Structure 1
Amino acid sequence: MTSRTPRRPSPFTGKEREPRLVTALGIPIPLLLVALLVAGLLGAQLAGALERATTSTSDSASTSVDSLSGGGKNSAGVPVITETTLGTEVQRLIDTGTIQPLTSFDAAQCLREQGIPDSILIMEEVAWGGEESPSWLLVHGPMDRETLRANGGTVSATVVLPSCGTSGDDVPSQENRLWSGDVMIGPL
């Protein structure tokens, strides 16, 4: 014979009460399990989205700068660079070793105007930023290009307007400088 615990009638309705669900911290266990399952699925989905977002960002940055006719160049064939692609472009310039002729741009005079005593390692005509401002990327430092290619190291990069170096006096000119900073270069 099995004994059954009689249900007590509710003081408000007079009907018998249903058995209570087991709770943890006042939350029914089935509801807690469902919430944990939903949180786990959302976490997995967010992790996958983050992985896809970071993978595609790094691929697009290296592809646009390294490709010869891709999205990294404007209609005139000049590389378009920003602060995020500057390091990749400097590494590519050091690796390829191509030097553009100075044409009408006096890079040495420009560096003197900027108050920079370094010698120019390599330079390239570029389009800067979203506005694609016509500019020059000057890579300069205390070492020569061959040593840098062999050992790697830190070089300075300065992006200037084409009007830099045309004033004729050795006064530092901040108006012509669009960006300046250091870039780590790996060995070739």
Structure 2
Amino acid sequence: MTFLIVTCAYVFCHGLIALVVTPAQSIFLPEETVFASLLYLPHGVRVLATWALGWRAIPALVVGASIAEWLFTPTDRFNFLEPVLLESILAGAVSAFLAFELVRLAGFDFYAGRARKLSWKGMITIGAISSVINSLAQTLIFSGLIGLEKLVEVLILYAVGDLVGLVVCMVALMFIFRWSRFYRGVES
């Protein structure tokens, strides 16, 4: 069941970005938008799914990203990216896991159930680290397709978009949790 939830959450968030954010961003950053988004909600799904499931989140994230690319990427862009798309999907799916493991090796275990409670600052830190990992990997993967003059811009766009996406997801979840606690209190 968690596999399905993570997969659907990823597809939903990616679709929201593809249908709302990408068209708006394309007006201002048309070349860079092919590769990255200034607001990438699926990164929040990556981090939160990995927080809850550890390495077991990776297959659901790969499936979710694959379905999302298939559903929401225009054919011309899909054909352009297709030679390295699987590498890109895999890099994105493992980025949060690598960040959690690096932080765990440094002595801070932020996985669900291992800390006393959810650390929002820890999640932002993990999100930032995984964003850097993902942006470096994606820029390397797409380096043959990105013009040299755009490489740094795309790298920054990946990092910013991932982190902003995580923050938006976490704020949304915070309001959902507060609303559900309030709603449960009203029913009692």
Q: Which range, TM-score by smaller chain?
A: under 0.3
Q: What TM-score comes out, normalization by structure 1 length?
A: 0.19
Q: Which has the larger radius of gyration?
A: 1
Kindly indicate which of the two structures has a greater share of residues assigned to strand.
1
Q: What TM-score comes out, normalization by structure 2 length?
A: 0.19
Kindly indicate which of the two structures has a greater share of residues assigned to helix.
2
